[in-house]
Each structure stands twice: as C-alpha cells, then as structure tokens.
C-alpha cells in the first residue's frame, strides 16, 4: 500500500501544514484545525473509518478545541493587561540600583536585584554610586543620582 494514500498520513500532513500556517498567520484559530486534523489522523490510524466520519471527527475536534481552549490560550500567551504592565514597571521605578562602572557619555551599567542592566543618565555617575531608576526603556534604565 502506498503510504501517501493512507488517510492517517494525509490527515497528519494536513495538520502539519495547518500548524505551520498558524506560524505565518497568527491568531490562534488555524492551530485548532491543525490539532483537529491530528486527532483525525490518530483515529484513522487506530480504526478504518469512511471519509464522512473523518470529516465529522475533524470538525468536532477542531471546533471543540477552538471553543474550549482558544480564550484560555490567548490569555495565557498574549493576554498581558495594562495593569500587569504598570505593575511590572512599578517594580523598577523609584528603586535604587548600584553603578558597576563609570558612565561614559551618559551610558553605563547598573546592578538591580542581582542583574546587570544597561543604564543612561544625564548626571555623571561613578562606579559604586547609588542611583534611582526613573524609567525603563526596553532593556535600558534611565537613572539619576539621588538628590
């Protein structure tokens, strides 16, 4: 028997194609149809069912996954709220950090909570000076010397 005529292999390849398509067109929808195709491939590998049942299994598995899991997964992977972002910034803002080198041209390194960070300052900062974190721009702290 030719391997490409096996329904389990066909459904597996369709599922793989759909999962790869999810990488190109993100939105957490196509992913569930890929998973539904893989569920169908598994059922086809275990039993011999006709095309109508295969399509029904594919649709039920895909739609159940979409309805039951999409909201959870979207929140889990993409659902940072504005409040969570503000809470993360509050972890840094107004806190003290230790300069671990002399700042040159306003740029240097500081240590905060055991981690080294790139920092910028309008004030001259020497190694060993304590600075206050005023803002965070990506992975760079904007700091100033305490008054």
The pLDDT assigned to 13 comes to 96
Q: Is-contact 99 125, C-beta < 8 A?
A: yes
Are 71 and 95 found together in one domain?
no
Show the low-confidence residues of the chain (pLDDT under 50). none
Give residue 116's domain range.
85-144
- Read off the tokens for 52: 């109508």
**Helix (DSSP H) and strand (DSSP E) numbers for the chain:** 4, 5
Number of domains in the chain: 2
- Among 51, 78, 105, which residue terminates a domain? 78
In the 8-state DSSP scheme, what is residue 6? -
Phi, psi values for residue 113, rounded to 5°? 55, 40
Are 66 and 36 found together in one domain?
yes
List, in sequence order, every residue forming a beta bridge with 135; answer none if it has no partner.
Answer: 142
CA-to-CA distance for 112 and 92, rounded, in angstroms? 9
**55-77 pLDDT per residue, tens:** 999 999 999 999 999 888 887 77
Are 46 and 66 found together in one domain?
yes
Are 99 and 44 found together in one domain?
no
């Amino acid at each position: 028997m030719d391997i490409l005529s096996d329904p389990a292999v066909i459904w597996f390849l369709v599922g793989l194609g759909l999962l790869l398509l999810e990488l190109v067109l993100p939105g957490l929808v196509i992913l569930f149809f890929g998973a539904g195709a893989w569920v169908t491939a598994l059922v086809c590998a275990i039993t011999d069912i006709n095309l109508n049942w295969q399509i029904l299994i594919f649709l039920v598995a895909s739609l159940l996954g979409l309805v039951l899991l999409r909201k959870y997964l979207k929140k889990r992977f993409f659902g940072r709220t504005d409040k969570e972002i503000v809470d993360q910034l509050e972890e840094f803002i107004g806190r003290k950090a230790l300069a671990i080198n002399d700042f040159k041209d306003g740029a240097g390194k500081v240590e905060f909570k055991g981690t080294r960070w790139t920092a910028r300052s309008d004030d001259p900062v020497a190694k060993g000076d304590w600075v206050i974190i005023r803002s965070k721009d990506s992975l760079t702290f904007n700091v100033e010397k305490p008054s």
